[in-house]
Amino acid sequence: MLYQYYEAQRALLSPFSEFASASSKLYNHPLSPFTHTPMATRVSAGLDLMHRLAKEYEKPEFNIHSVSIDGTDVAVQQQVAIEKPFCRLLRFKRFTDNLHTLGHMKAHPTVLVVAPLSGHHSTLLRETVRELLKDHKVFITDWTDARMVPASAGPFHLDDYVAYVQEFIRHIGPEVNVISVCQPTVPVLAAISLMASQGEATPRTMTMMGGPIDARRSPTAVNNLATNKPHEWFEHNVIYRVPVNYPGNGRRVYPGFLQHTGFIAMNPDRHLKSHYDYFLDLMRGDDGNAEFHRDFYDEYNAVLDMPAEYYLDTIKTVFQDFALVNGTWRVKGQLVQPQDIKTTALLTIEGELDDISGAGQTRAAHGLCTGIPRERQFHYDVAGAGHYGIFSGRRWREKVYPQVRDFIASHQQPEAKPLKKLAAPRQAVAAAASKRPAARNAVAVKKPKVAVVKKALSMKSARKA
């Protein structure tokens, strides 16, 4: 019933939120007589803050319409490459009539960004995508809010997540470079491992950023919650059914509002201070900082529901059984073996101050991918960066992105596969002979003929010398 109570509260607050927004404008519009009353600025700022605390936050748009490449503004169009019940594969197609820039763009590597399915929408990686578009052809996974997926679409498990990633990689092709941010590092590693085990072509590179490959290392509050509670506790206490006013009516989900509450509970003081600073910025007329606050919380407060099956699978597989690092994880019956990856280069990235994926958790991928040559394995620690700083903000633009760009650029030639050793002459002859009738076999393996041929060749070489 908790989901239903939440919906009732949201519906109750909605008109108050709109009233607060309208009243705030009444006290700050230059043509309004209320703007010139005492305390008008303070009243307007307080009402604006009330509106933002009570409003419903819808899924944001990427709003990436252009990017600068070689000093030229290039148009960007968002396209849907593949549409699945629980995810869309989006492509950001770039267009230009500048022939010089077009030539560079055609040579750019292709990147698949696997966004996390962990409460926020893929637009959280907007800045990640915007930077990548300067030097890459970019695809991204856009996960669907589970409350918007009809129950008739069936369940969605962690195994299905892995299958989605594999389908997207196959669709783009083996020249793709995969970047996984936070949660998807585990299923992405599984997807590529299974492809390698099956003898399929694997991506040129895989970049893993701030993910729980081995959640036993430097456990954070997120890890502790998952390990200190039994699996049944999560099923009985955080899983609810979608209310009737959504297309996914009746589907079992881990609600986004619970995830959002958890995010806030991790750093309540920081969020309180941020909202108070926003109030002060409005009082001072600091539009720049106020707009930055709005942009951040428009994204941060927009959350989605996760399918219950996927959420519970992740808790058990990643945070309780540690199945990937223990070598016991099976996806649809097939054992996940990262050591089978041979030709894909690996880069892991961690933030020094990451309070979601602790130090060493992502770097653990190197200990699993023993089949990748050491000269094709790299790690980068981002000094002073928290979890979001490794894929967004100044540190992402100035420190992390150059590392990712150069790593991808330096591994665009496919790794040469080792040639199979030819069978020894006698073994080859014997193998061929075994396929012939017995009467002919005896003739085929006679050694004197081989000796005569060798002697004739040596005499011929001697005459040339």
Residue 444 and residue 377 in one domain = no
The enclosing domain of 84 has a CATH number of 3.40.50.1820
Residue 48 and residue 79 in one domain = no
Residue 158 and residue 233 in one domain = yes
H-helix or E-strand spanning residue 165: helix 158-172
Dihedral sign of CA atoms 313, 315, 320, 324 in order:
positive
In whole angstroms, give the CA distance from residue 233 to residue 215. 19
Residue 83 and residue 205 in one domain = yes
Residue 348 — left, alpha, or beta (φ > 0 → left; ψ -120 to 50 → alpha)? beta
460: how many CB neighbours lie within 10 A of its CB?
10
Question: How does pLDDT run along the chain (465 residues), one tens digit per residue?
Answer: 899 999 999 899 999 999 999 999 999 998 999 998 999 999 999 999 999 999 999 999 999 999 999 889 999 999 999 999 999 999 999 999 999 999 999 999 999 999 999 989 999 999 999 999 999 999 999 999 999 999 999 999 999 999 999 999 999 999 999 999 999 999 999 999 999 999 999 999 999 999 999 999 998 888 888 888 999 999 999 999 999 999 999 999 999 999 899 888 888 999 999 999 999 999 999 999 999 999 999 999 999 999 999 999 999 999 999 999 999 999 999 999 999 999 999 999 999 999 899 999 999 999 999 999 999 999 999 999 999 999 999 999 999 999 999 999 999 987 655 444 434 433 433 444 444 444 333 333 333 344 443 444 444 443 433
pTM of the model: 0.85
In whole angstroms, give the CA distance from residue 323 to residue 158. 13
Domain membership of residue 377 (yes or no) is yes
Residue 43 and residue 81 in one domain = no
What is Dmax (Cα atoms) for the chain?
115
In whole angstroms, give the CA distance from residue 385 to residue 395. 7
Domain membership of residue 271 (yes or no) is no
> What does DSSP say about strands 377-382 and 334-335: parallel, antiparallel, or unpaired?
unpaired
The pair of three-digit structure tokens given for residue 229, joined into one six-digit string: 């509670």
Domain membership of residue 289 (yes or no) is no
Residue 6 and residue 155 in one domain = no
Domain membership of residue 418 (yes or no) is no
Structural domains counted in the chain: 3
Residue 215 and residue 114 in one domain = yes
Domain residues for 443? 425-464
Domain membership of residue 367 (yes or no) is yes
Number of separate helices (H) and strands (E) present in the chain? 19, 14
Residue 397 and residue 430 in one domain = no
Domain membership of residue 398 (yes or no) is yes
Q: Which amino acid, residue 347? A: L
**Please, which residues have CB within 8 angstroms of residue 450's CB and are 6 or more apart in sequence?**
none
**Please, which residues have CB within 8 angstroms of residue 381's CB and are 6 or more apart in sequence?**
349, 350, 351, 352
Provide the CB-side half-sphere exposure for 100 (13 A, CA).
5
Provide the CB-side half-sphere exposure for 44 (13 A, CA).
20
Domain membership of residue 177 (yes or no) is yes
In whole angstroms, give the CA distance from residue 214 to residue 230. 19
In whole angstroms, give the CA distance from residue 251 to residue 171. 29
Residue 24 and residue 150 in one domain = no
- Per-residue pLDDT at 417: 56
Q: Are 119 and 303 in contact (CB under 8 A)?
A: yes
- Per-residue pLDDT at 414: 72
Residue 168 and residue 130 in one domain = yes
Residue 47 and residue 92 in one domain = no
Rounded to 10 degrees, the C-alpha dihedral 170/174/176/177 comes to 110
H-helix or E-strand spanning residue 224: helix 221-228
Residue 114 and residue 212 in one domain = yes
- Per-residue pLDDT at 430: 41
> What does DSSP say about strands 345-351 and 377-382: parallel, antiparallel, or unpaired?
parallel
DSSP state of 376: G
**Please, which residues have CB within 8 angstroms of residue 201's CB and are 6 or more apart in sequence?**
174, 195
Domain membership of residue 263 (yes or no) is no
Q: In what order do the strands lie in the sheet with 377-382?
A: 66-69, 72-83, 87-95, 137-143, 110-114, 176-181, 205-209, 345-351, 377-382
